[in-house]
Amino acid sequence: MLALVTLIACHSETTDPAGSDGASADIVAAEGGTLALGDATLEVPPGALAEDTTLTVDLVDAGGLADAGSVVGMAFDYGPDGLQFLTPATLVVSADAPAEGQALVLSWYDEGAGAWVDLPTTFDGGEATAPVEHFTTFALRSVEAGAADPCIPVSPCGGDPTGSWTLVAGCVVDDLDMEECPDATIDFTLETEGTYDFLAGGAFSYDVTITVGSTMTLPAECLPGGLDCSLIDAGCTGTTDTGCVCTSTEDPDHASGSGTWSVSGTDLVVDDGSGPSTQPFCIGGDTMTVLDPDGGAQLVFTR
């Protein structure tokens, strides 16, 4: 018979009777605490709650939710529903390693959109870990490696990059700073292909191609009236009375070479002969995310 899940830290107590489908924990805001149920453990850091709060969690059958086939095991419904953390809590779910070609990702369910929203997830030592900023329904999902949204921010966590990696996705996040048109927006897309090979002896080689596209939206209030948007640029459509949408695609950028690599903490240091380049990175299972040290971009690889 399963024992009661008892006090993990003196400032919080989890109640999870044997065979229960739910649990609760009284969390002292200034001290933080832990709420555990089944394979899931929620770690609340000190100061993450605005006040002392009783947190709850219930097991949920994901069969009635969208893309239920991707859910591994049961979903977890945390409460009070809608609670917002002042600083993120951490959700840890124990699981077997993903199947070949798959990756494990922790996700929360957007009831309004009827869809799962993936969290930046690391998988190591049989545990999937992700930050939690608010309460709703969460689940561990198995997705095609590299299929998770590449624009989800990932925190550097390091790892061992030894092996062959395929570049499967990328994301550019850039703010369009136009004082004369503050409501203008720009979205970037990356088409990626190629590989990086990191050898155990510290050598590496790469052969990749990246194509950058962009879509800029200019609202009517920023434009002179009565003009066709194509007069602004051949890639723009619409009229200035209703707003312009301008798209462009750069020529593919191909690069290849070889050199040496090393890891320093959560940084990947590579040198292809042009000088060392240091980039934060994180490996979770068979997925590696390499970050722009200045922010604004990240590339996703699978092996």
Domain ranges within the chain, ordered by starting residue: 14-144, 163-216+245-302
Provide the CATH number for the domain formed by 14-144 in this structure.
2.60.220.30
Rounded Cα–Cα distance for residues 239 and 227 (Å) = 6
For residue range 252-272, list pLDDT tens digits in order: 999 999 999 999 999 999 999
Q: Is 62 helix (H, G, I), strand (E, B) or coil?
A: helix
Please state the rounded mean pLDDT for residues 97-119: 89
Does the predicted model carry a pTM greater than 0.85? no
The fold of 163-216+245-302 is: Lipocalin (2.40.128)
Q: Is 164 helix (H, G, I), strand (E, B) or coil?
A: strand
State percent of the chain over pLDDT 70: 89
Its sign, for the CA torsion 147, 152, 153, 154, is: negative
Helices (H) and strands (E) in the chain, counts: 0, 22
In this chain, the answer to whether the domains covering 14-144 and 163-216+245-302 adopt an identical fold is no
Q: Which of 146-160, 240-254, 269-283 has the weakest average pLDDT?
A: 146-160
For residue range 286-301, list pLDDT tens digits in order: 778 899 888 778 898 8
- Alpha-carbon separation of residue 230 from 117, 217, 224, 238, 242 (angstroms): 37, 13, 13, 8, 13
